Amino acid sequence: MGKALADRYPEAAEVFARFDRIRPGTSSLCFQGTEEDLRETRNTQPCLYALEMAITAVLNGRNLRPKGAAGFSLGEVTAAAAAGVFDPETGFRLVCRRGELMQEAAETLDTAMAAVLKLPPDTVETICRDFPGMYPVNYNCPGQLTVSGRADQMSAFGAAVKAAGGRMLPLKVRAAFHSPYMEQAARAFRQDLEQTAMRQGEIPLYSNLTARPYTEDAADLLARQIVSPVRWEALIRQMIADGFDTFWEIGPGQTLTNMIRRIEPAVTARSVREVLPEAGPC
């Protein structure tokens, strides 16, 4: 992940080198890490951030700059760095800490996540209420909502989803992100954020928590995001209402591109891989 990018573009290689000085071995994990290693959120988060900031550096070097920014979950930290809320190195230190804290929280309980397809949000919310400890967490796009909960409840929950006419797909993660199971991580991360110097963004930055541009304390928004649902569909609809009509996904895949196309087919949603093939796939 990112090796072709670093091999071709000096500005990308320099980003990886700077982050290696902060967290030795990050580029090796990106370039040669096993799937098992990269599934550990303490590794996933720094590696994805490093790749996304390397892509951003390449685009900035060609004077391709966004007029607004948003990120899904971890990606909101990348978006904050791209918006100028803090510098890339500060953002990297934050995601390293975020990944470690969320990993520690994940290891205290046997939890999991799953995507629920083909059901409206209120139906999924109703099913969750029948399973204490199961939470709707990521409101992705029409017909797709992610849930977090105890691993031992997932089978029965999936049967309830099927009975309601939906479909459940387990996700390849080992924790119940964006749910109360992450409370310990959120509290500790808030302390780190409150000690971090932050600025007003240079461009509008949209929050997963509120689905609106940042107007309040960034530390509070980023801390609460860990234990709160990602309101991605509402966020994208707000950006469209605010005048955004073209979205570029800065990352190794096109998951968000596909979500945006489902949210509003009339807007343009594209993956950066179209103009920068070295960014992926991975």
What is the domain-level CATH number for residue 66?
3.40.366.10
Whether residues 69 and 141 share a domain: the answer is: no
The CATH number assigned to the domain holding 144 equals 3.30.70.250
Please give the pLDDT value at position 281: 60
Task: Give residue 163's Cα distance to chain centre.
Answer: 30
Whether residue 148 lies in the annotated active site = no
Residue 268 lies in domain: 3-107+179-279
Nearest alpha carbon to residue 95 among 80, 110, 112, 113? 80
What is the pTM (predicted TM-score) of this model? 0.94
The CA-atom distances, in angstroms, between 158 and each of 6, 67, 119, 261 are 42, 41, 12, 27
Whether residues 39 and 55 share a domain: the answer is: yes
Whether residue 228 lies in the annotated active site = no
Last residue of a domain, one of 127, 145, 170: 170
Whether residues 102 and 201 share a domain: the answer is: yes
Whether residues 132 and 96 share a domain: the answer is: no
Q: For helices 41-61 and 88-106, give the axis angle rounded to 10 degrees.
A: 160
Residue-wise DSSP of the chain = --HHHHHH-HHHHHHHHHHHHHSTTHHHHHHH--HHHHHSHHHHHHHHHHHHHHHHHHHHHTT---SSEE-STTHHHHHHHHHTSS-HHHHHHHHHHHHHHHHHHHTTS-EEEEEEESS-HHHHHHHHHTSTT-EEEEEEETTEEEEEEEGGGHHHHHHHHHHTT-EEEE-S-SS-TTSGGGHHHHHHHHHHHHTS-----SS-EE-TTTSSB--S-HHHHHHHHTTS-B-HHHHHHHHHHTT--EEEE-SSS-HHHHHHHHH-TTSEEEEGGGT-GGG---
Of 27, 178, 179, 271, the active-site residue reads 178
**Interatomic CA distance for residues 196 and 198, integer angstroms:** 6
Whether residues 80 and 201 share a domain: the answer is: yes
Please give the pLDDT value at position 174: 78
Last residue of a domain, one of 149, 170, 191: 170
Whether residues 74 and 185 share a domain: the answer is: yes
Q: Per-block average pLDDT, block size 10, for the chain (282 residues)?
A: 94 97 97 90 95 95 92 97 96 97 92 96 97 96 97 96 97 90 96 94 96 92 97 98 97 92 97 84 55
Whether residues 76 and 184 share a domain: the answer is: yes
Whether residues 266 and 158 share a domain: the answer is: no
Please give the pLDDT value at position 63: 86
Nearest alpha carbon to residue 48 among 251, 230, 206? 251
How many domains would you assign to the chain?
A: 2
Please give the pLDDT value at position 47: 96
Whether residues 84 and 208 share a domain: the answer is: yes
